[in-house]
């Protein structure tokens, strides 16, 4: 702080706030994350402002889901405004999961995720967004036979463990939604 390194200070507030929230010290964590968010906004640092909002939203999803969703929407707008495509794609996926569990806003958001899948240039974004889109489709009884092959095509033979997660997740979820409960349990 003596050197007035704003980025370092704000990043440390995010890290400490997130750690405290993870330890169920929500009030302290939320206070630090809100401070970090305000500092990121004040210094027009889109990366830190988005990171603070994301971490605060994830914390609030347990205790105030509507506020968490509001923060995720703000983060998406910041990503769009600053052209932070990777962060924008990440936040689209994070908001999609929050909306899925909230049970609202699916149609509008699914359209945004579909657009992002079509324009994503990083493989991990393609896999994550296609996988998240697939969650909505499976629960609607759609694309049950095409999600895993599409994901396998994107991932190819050299996929990471994170990418493999989405393939395994969809095999289990598809089995669940088609009444193959023993298979779903084993795959999960």
Indicate the angle between helix axes 65-82 and 46-63, nearest 10 degrees. 160
Task: Give the CA distances from residue 132 to residues 66, 94, 104, 144, 157, in Å, rounded to whole numbers and listed in that order.
Answer: 20, 9, 15, 14, 21
177 CB neighbour count, 10 Å cutoff: 15
Average pLDDT over residues 156-178: 88
| pLDDT tens, residue by residue, 41-79 | 999 999 999 999 999 999 998 889 999 999 999 999 998
What percent of the chain is helix, strand and coil (3-state, nearest 5)? 80, 0, 20
- Mean pLDDT, rounded, of the chain: 90
| pLDDT tens, residue by residue, 85-135 | 888 888 888 888 888 888 888 888 888 888 888 888 888 889 889 988 888
């Amino acid at each position: 702080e003596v050197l007035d390194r704003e980025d370092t200070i704000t990043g440390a507030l995010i890290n400490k706030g997130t750690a405290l929230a993870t330890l169920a010290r929500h009030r302290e964590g939320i206070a630090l994350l809100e401070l970090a968010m305000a500092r990121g906004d004040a210094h027009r640092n889109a990366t830190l402002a988005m990171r603070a909002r994301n971490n605060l939203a994830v914390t609030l999803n347990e205790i105030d889901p509507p506020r968490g969703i509001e923060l995720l929407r703000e983060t998406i707008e910041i990503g769009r405004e600053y052209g932070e495509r990777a962060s924008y794609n990440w936040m689209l996926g994070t908001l999609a999961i929050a909306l899925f569990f909230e049970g609202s806003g699916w149609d509008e958001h699914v359209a945004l995720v579909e657009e992002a899948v079509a324009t994503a240039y990083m493989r991990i974004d393609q896999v994550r967004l296609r996988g998240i889109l697939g969650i909505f489709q499976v629960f609607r009884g759609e694309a049950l036979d095409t999600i895993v092959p599409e994901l396998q095509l994107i991932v190819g033979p050299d996929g990471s463990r994170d990418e493999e997660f989405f393939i395994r997740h969809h095999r289990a979820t598809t089995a669940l939604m088609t009444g193959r409960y023993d298979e779903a349990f084993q795959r999960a």
